[in-house]
Amino acid sequence: MRSQHQSKAMALKILAAKLRDSAGQHARNERDAARKEQCGSGMRGDKIRTYRTQDDRVTDHRSGKTWALKKWVRGDWE
């Protein structure tokens, strides 16, 4: 049979382990969220540029600018 002190010590060990697990999970969630924000979803809306050869244009989605494809290839970006 256990004494009250043994039961309390065991309960405190279990509580400490649960708190460590909870803190670790919280840190993992924050790290995962930061990674996801940096990487993006990989979906179509995450594109930086669209090259449209049929229409002879390049569109930069970050700045919203569009260039003629042939000029852009030559380096006439401004």
pLDDT reported for residue 78: 65
CA within 13 Å, CB half, 70: 3
The dihedral over CA atoms of 12, 18, 22, 23, expressed in degrees to the nearest 10, equals: 40
Interval 40-66 mean pLDDT = 80
Q: What is the pTM of this model?
A: 0.45
Instruction: Quote the CA–CA distance of 75 and 60 in Å, as a whole number.
Output: 14
| Domain extents in the chain | 1-39, 43-78
pLDDT reported for residue 27: 95
pLDDT, one tens digit per residue, over 30-39 is 999 888 887 7
Greatest CA separation found in the chain?
A: 86
pLDDT reported for residue 75: 82
Residue 44 has pLDDT above 70, yes or no: no
